[in-house]
Amino acid sequence: MTKNNEMLKILILGNLDIKSTAYEINNQLKQLKLTNLNLKVNIDLGDASKKTSSLKNDALSYQKWWEQVLQRQELERERVLQSEHRTRSALERKAAQERESALREEQRIRKALEDQRIKEEQRVSKEREKALQEEQKLRRKIDQEQSKQQKTQQQNQSAVNLFQDKAKYNADRLLQNLGKSVDKRALQEWLNEVDKLTSKTPKLQQEIARLNERFRQISTSASDAGRRTFDLGQQMEHAFKKIALWTAAGGIFFGAQTALRSLLSVIVEVDTKLTELSKVMSNDTDFSKLMSNTMELANTYGRSLTEAQDSLIEFGKAGYEAEEALKLTNATLLGANVTGLKTGQMAEYLTGALIQFNLTAEESTRVIDKLNEVDNNYSVTSLGLAQSIAKAGESAQAFGVTLDELIGMTTAIGQATRESGNVIGRVAA
């Protein structure tokens, strides 16, 4: 309202109670004590009606929009609930599958553990049974070994007694025949060593063989150096005399009655062997000396003359002359005592080893010593070693393997597998 009393215009839009509104306005103005106030109320009912209708339409539009919003919210909530339901169902199915899978895995593990337990019990049971069998086998082996040891001890004692009797007899005969030439001190020392032998003497057979060799040396040194040259008939006569002497000495071991009874057959057999020997030895061979030395070797090692002759014949066939054949026969008889082989078999094994490894007759005794040394210190036998050398010697020599190396390989395989020498030899070949 301005100073020049401009009229106050109030525009009220809406559906109003005009009379009441004008009355209230006038009352309010009176209270204000305003003067010169000319209030005119001009209400445009038509426009108010339009405005009211527009407002109503807006209200309806808003209500409709709100209903649509609520409807969309409801639809969204329903969709969310459905998605949640699907998700929950999927999770529940997955959880159920995982529980089922876990259950199956647990059952599988339980079954595997049960199977393993059963197998372990079966294995333990088999091992227990096997251990029991091994224990029983070991007990039987121990019993057999004890029995064998007792038997061996008895045999050793018998052998010692026989050897001592034979040694005294041989010493007496040596003194009777060559008393002036005998080294009596050396002979007495030898007899003292013989008397010390017992069944418990370590390496008894080797000790007996050593003493036999020692006696042979004493006998050889006492023998007349100048031996006569005999013709074949004289050689036979001299050989038969020696055979009679050897047979008498052998009577201590085999019984005098048995020796005399077999004398004729021995003479015939010796004659046959001499004939064979003359075929494989050269014509200038001193058969008298050869037979004398052969009988001494047979007597030294407790072997028959025909066994010693078999060795000579075998080496003669292999091309060795008398001196070399005699050395080889000495090694053969020694090896036969060590291995328990027949002299013919031992001669074959020894010949094969010498030829395959290019060894000389002088080295033959060393071969026997190697076999005997391994036999004494390892769980393999001299026989097994000889068999392996015979089977694999040629192949070993071709590949540059020495005799010592072949013996070592045979020993290692034999201890690990307990196989025979023939089997080991075939494998090594």
Give the H or E element holding residue 190.
helix 184-195
Helices 287-301 and 204-222, axial angle in degrees (round to 10): 150
Structure tokens at 289: 């000396």
Question: Which band of pLDDT confidence, cut at 50, 70 and 90, is reported for residue 289?
Answer: confident
Contact (Cβ atoms closer than 8 angstroms) between residue 252 and residue 169: yes
- The reply to whether 343 falls in a domain is yes
- The reply to whether 119 falls in a domain is no
Give the H or E element holding residue 362.
none
- The reply to whether 269 falls in a domain is yes
DSSP 306: H
- The reply to whether 382 falls in a domain is no
CA distance 310 to 351: 13
Number of domains in the chain: 1
Q: Provide the β-strand partners of residue 39.
A: 8
Q: What is the pLDDT of residue 1?
A: 44
- The reply to whether 164 falls in a domain is no
Q: What is the pLDDT of residue 429?
A: 61
Question: Which band of pLDDT confidence, cut at 50, 70 and 90, is reported for residue 416?
Answer: confident
Q: What is the pLDDT of residue 233?
A: 44
- The reply to whether 416 falls in a domain is no
Q: How many CB atoms lie within 10 A of CB 258?
A: 13
- The reply to whether 313 falls in a domain is yes
* Residue 3, φ and ψ in degrees, nearest 5: -70, -30
CA distance 154 to 169: 23
Distances (CA, A) of 61 to 55, 74, 82, 290, 331: 10, 19, 31, 150, 136
Find the mean pLDDT for residues 243-264.
46
- Give the best-scoring range by mean pLDDT among 45-54, 126-135, 350-359: 126-135
Q: What is the pLDDT of residue 105?
A: 92
pLDDT digits (tens, 9 = 90+) for 299-320: 888 888 878 888 888 888 877 8
CA distance 182 to 178: 6
Mean pLDDT of the chain: 75
Distances (CA, A) of 190 to 186, 187, 224: 6, 5, 21
Query: Which amino acid belongs to residue 178?
Result: L
Contact (Cβ atoms closer than 8 angstroms) between residue 12 and residue 46: no
Judged by DSSP in three states, 268 sits in helix
- The reply to whether 341 falls in a domain is yes
Q: What is the pLDDT of residue 111?
A: 92
Domain that holds residue 318: 227-377
Strands in 22-67 per DSSP E: none
Q: What is the pTM of this model?
A: 0.40
